[in-house]
Amino acid sequence: MKQKIHHKVSLSKLIMLTGDLPPMPYVARRVMDIVNDPGVNAKMLQDIISKDQGLASQILKIANSALYACSRRVETLTDAIIMLGFNAIRSLSIMSATKKLYDFTRRGKVLGLKDKLMWEHSVGAAVAARLIAQKQNQRYIEQAFMGALLHDIGKLVILQKLPDIFDEIVEEVYNTGRHFVEVEMEQLGFTHAKVGARLMRKWKLSEDFEAAVRFHHDITPEMGMDNHLIYFIDLANKICHKLGIGFIKEPEKDLSSEISALMLGLSAEDISRIEKSVSSILEQETNLFMM
């Protein structure tokens, strides 16, 4: 039997090691800033996004995808901004920025199974969280999408900076079915959730996003509904586990009894419909969302 190696890397040392992580790409940062300006208009956003043709192209493709199900084809960036709304454009800008962070991690190498599973899980969770918010409270649709997309980004940091340890964590999770956070605490002394929250702060996202990423494995009913994001992300995460999107596969899990489902007031039937929609959207848009 292979003997387990226990690594103890202090969080402060990891933060020091991750000091050279790329900041949020410039155009995405500008989109984030300008969307929060009450004086913003579509022309301003178009001028900024047009400076990044990759982002502009991605926004157009996703605007025409099954995720947004627009009633007519979106032909131009201006159409996309007006039809989808500023918050949706912010979400898609963050999605593009996150994909670039994966590219940074690869450094020209072929995308491995771990990277692919992590990205698929993040996208699956984002789609699921958006659908949950659409059912429960449409005001939070884009926040839910963005928060779920970023919820596991701490894993990417660990993969980039401590690849050998990350390999051992993944192997343990994959072979035993144990939860990531349990194995991370055993091997590292901290979790990807805490690392991800640090990156949210570096990217200057809101405290709500930072808290949602930090506590998405530690939810309790006592948290109340002040931060819906935590419940959206938790349930979306578990829907992906049930559907086998990512490292963890729990097909028999009853999600209707989970704290997040109860807090959001979603029934077993609601969750089943969301699961089917997630599977359908990801199947239709495999080439668009997946790496």
Domain of 172: which CATH number? 1.10.3210.10
Does residue 57 form part of some domain? no
- What pLDDT does 1 receive? 40
- What pLDDT does 264 receive? 92
- What pLDDT does 228 receive? 81
Here the tokens at position 196 are 């991800």
Is residue 156 classed as helix, strand or coil in its secondary structure?
helix
Domain count, the chain: 1
Residue range(s) defining the domain that contains residue 216: 11-23+96-289
Q: What is the chain's pLDDT, residue by residue, as a tens digit (291 residues)?
A: 444 555 666 666 666 666 666 567 778 888 888 887 888 888 888 998 888 888 888 888 888 888 887 778 888 888 888 888 888 888 888 887 787 776 655 544 545 777 788 888 999 999 999 999 999 888 889 889 999 999 998 988 888 888 888 889 988 887 887 888 999 998 888 899 988 888 888 888 888 889 999 998 888 877 766 778 899 999 999 999 999 998 788 888 899 999 999 999 999 999 999 999 999 998 887 777 765
218's CB contacts (< 8 A; 6+ apart) are 193
What is the DSSP code (8-state) at residue 283?
Answer: H
Give dist(CA 28, CA 48) in Å, integer. 9
Does residue 150 form part of some domain? yes
- What pLDDT does 3 receive? 47
Does residue 30 form part of some domain? no
Does residue 69 form part of some domain? no
Which DSSP string corresponds to 204-273? T--HHHHHHHHHTTS--GGGTTS-HHHHHHHHHHHHHHHHT-SS---TT--GGGSHHHHHHT--HHHHHH
- What pLDDT does 245 receive? 92
Does residue 65 form part of some domain? no
Does residue 28 form part of some domain? no
Does residue 90 form part of some domain? no
Does residue 74 form part of some domain? no
